[in-house]
Amino acid sequence: MMRQYELVERVKRYNPHADEALLNRAYVYAMKAHGTQTRASGDPYMSHPLEVAAILTDLKLDEATIVAAVLHDTIEDTDATKEEIATLFGPQISELVDGLTKIKKLDLVSKKAAQAENLRKLLLAIADDVRVLLVKLADRLHNMRTLHYVPPEKRTRIAEETLDIYAPLAGRMGMQDMREELEDLAFRHFMPEAHATITARLDELGRKAGPVIEEIERELESKLAAFGLKADVSGRLKRPYSVWKKMERKSVSFEQLSDIIGFRIIVATVADCYAVLGIVHTTWPTVPGRFKDYISTPKQNDYRSLHTTVVGPGRQRVELQIRTEDMDNIAEFGIAAHALYKDGRANDRSALSRESRAYNWLRRTIETLAEGDSPEEFLEHTKLELFHDQVFCFTPKGRLIALPRGATPIDFAYAVHTDVGNTAVGCKVNGRMVPLLSELQNGDEVEIVRSPGQSPPAAWESIAITGKARAAIRRATRTAVRNQYAGLGRRIIERAFERAGKLFSEDKLKAAVPRLARTSLDDVLASVGRGEIFSGDVVKAVYPDFKEGQAAGSAPDPKAGGWFGMKKGGGLVFRVPDGKQEAQLPSIPIRGLNGDLPVHFAPDGGAVPGDRIVGILTPGKGITIYPIQSPALMAFDDQPERWLDVRWDIEEDHRQRFPAQINVTAINEPGTLAQIAAVIGENDGNIDSITVIGRSPDFRDLKIDLEVWDLKHLNAIISQLRTKTIVSQVERVNG
């Protein structure tokens, strides 16, 4: 365990003016508070906060952050209080410790809604001071280093949480080394077999490739020195988790990966970076499509570097990263590399935002908390933002838009502004019209074509990549559906007032909104359209003295007439595949109700030509024909011997009608049934029976048995019914 003087020495090594007394006071206070507590390993508990502090001294953070690391478990695990810490160490440190205490209570691997809400709390806790996140990441890193002492079931949960949340957050803060170590430690415990296999292969490759790496390092250094450039060249194998992710993403084997070895070239200036690039590209052939300039266009986590791949010495594919020493520090330490905690500006958010694009991303993510419609949507948005690499595109005016890799013009439109996305109807990429589902590439100039009356189709949600676009599409879809229900509700209410002999007035209805337990007129209209409020209740809310009678929406007697019927029948022909097509199945002609083997249709829903169908054989009763999508077929999953592969064999000269069934939800008012019957009749459908299966003062749910020619005919009838204002919903029944 680190001694008191060792902690002070570590801090003073990079900050000679550190408050030694403050560090000593924190060490003694934490030591007394934790007392005889021990960790799962059996070590004194105090060893953990000291190791966390040691990790942060490697990042050269300010003394307040180091003290907060030493004290970070005292409020949670001892009798210490926030007030006591504020008195002894000041309000800044007490706020840091309190933020860490709140984060410790979160369980980020849980049911989706709970996980989402806890992620909200995590980001809110770090919103005001990013040092809370830095301490938490160091805390998680030490816990992962000692995870083998934890019970296996808990070990897996913590490893999954690290891969899902903390490693990506470290990456987004630009702390690449910490991210890689967190990923590999979590990978070892979450997928031990995959980790062991890839690690063994990398060790074997390292033994074989060691001399090759040294040779390439020497040749690169000598080649650059010949042009007067002093460079530090180092090569290394990629990390196991990085290799596994690439194998999984590209669906390739270990042997098929060609860039497991990477080289880093550190030079003095930005100009030297581009000079090195020119020398490398004129000396060795480049691999097309593998050059990326993150110096002129940095990543959102502040990462800056030139990436290229060449066929280098020994015909080896060599992946190169070219950067300055400052860029290398930021690539390793990320947001902690900024001199924000060393000159008294730790709480200067404007200074931080100027220096750190990573912190800007964090602030924007926090702002989405106010936009999210649900914790699940926020979780989706944040995880998408955490995990995706980026492409950089431009608006016609030159504005840079950073998007996840694989993003479409739909994502681009919503990144510009929600209104641009909602009204998008097309796009031009580099001056050419392209589909909205096209994948954008680095450097594309994207122009969105808009139409003021447009609203986004719900199908866009499955096309969009970014959480922001998906959430906006969902909101717009819900708004459109709500408007449809509100329009339907308005018609229902107007007719209810008319039947009651009362004057409909929006002003009077607005005054009655509280009596209907709603917050706005639109809420009332939409609730009536959805069937959540009866129109008679709305009339009563506006006219409390109104006595509801038959005219106000009471249910008619279903036996009062208006029913249609006919006897089913007709010749049906089905065949199984003959012997030439499948030798195992004999040719059995199956004829209709009057044939050798009786054929029946599924009792609920029937089947029509155009459906893919299945026959179920019942000994002594014949064959029952089901559409392939019928949920009733699940009952026969364990009886494969009863299944027959039947097909339609309809002769065009002998057209016949076939049974189908639909459910219709329609407004309850005089003439509704007649309008529905008229639509079916006008479209050449034949009604066999109509049954009321549900009723309310405003709606009727009808089950209608039809006879139609084929699936196209049935779909045409359903489409026509959906156009009627009296009809709320029409669905085919697949029994």
Catalytic residue numbers, as ranges: 76-77
The residues, ordered by sequence, that sit 6+ positions from 459 with a Cβ below 8 Å of its Cβ are none
Q: Distance between CA 408 and CA 427 in Å, rounded?
A: 10
Residue 649, Cβ neighbours under 10 Å: how many?
12
What strands, in cross-sheet order, belong to the sheet with 432-434? Answer: 432-434, 424-429, 446-450
The residues, ordered by sequence, that sit 6+ positions from 194 with a Cβ below 8 Å of its Cβ are 187, 244
Q: Distance between CA 130 and CA 349 in Å, rounded?
A: 10
Q: Distance between CA 603 and CA 632 in Å, rounded?
A: 10
Q: Distance between CA 453 and CA 239 in Å, rounded?
A: 51
**Side-chain half-sphere exposure of 506, counting CA atoms within 13 A:** 7
**What ranges in 110-256 are assigned the alpha helix state H?**
112-125, 131-145, 152-161, 167-172, 176-190, 192-226, 240-250
Q: Distance between CA 573 and CA 592 in Å, rounded?
A: 6
Q: Distance between CA 413 and CA 427 in Å, rounded?
A: 9
Token pair listed for 431: 């001056």
Q: Is residue 64 within 8 Å of residue 89, measured between CB atoms?
A: no
Token pair listed for 693: 């299966």
Which among 159, 231, 219 has a CA at the least distance from the CA of 194?
Answer: 159
Token pair listed for 27: 């060490």
Token pair listed for 257: 């990966």
- Write out the DSSP string of 40-68: TTSSBTTHHHHHHHHHHHHTT--HHHHHH
Phi, psi at 661, each rounded to 5°: -140, 135
**What ranges in 227-324 are assigned the alpha helix state H?**
240-250, 270-283
| Cα Rg of the chain, angstroms | 35
Taking the CA atoms of residue 610, residue 611, residue 614 and residue 618 in that order, the dihedral angle to the nearest 10 degrees is: -100
Q: Distance between CA 559 and CA 299 in Å, rounded?
A: 72
Q: Distance between CA 193 and CA 188 in Å, rounded?
A: 8
Q: Is residue 180 within 8 Å of residue 239, measured between CB atoms?
A: yes
Phi, psi at 170, each rounded to 5°: -60, -40
Q: Distance between CA 72 and CA 95 in Å, rounded?
A: 11
Beta bridge partners of 424: 450
**Side-chain half-sphere exposure of 700, counting CA atoms within 13 A:** 22
Q: Distance between CA 244 and CA 257 in Å, rounded?
A: 10
Q: Is residue 667 within 8 Å of residue 614, measured between CB atoms?
A: no
Token pair listed for 285: 């052939």
**Which amino acid does the sequence have at 204?**
E
Which among 563, 589, 591 has a CA at the least distance from the CA of 576?
Answer: 589
Q: Distance between CA 386 and CA 364 in Å, rounded?
A: 13
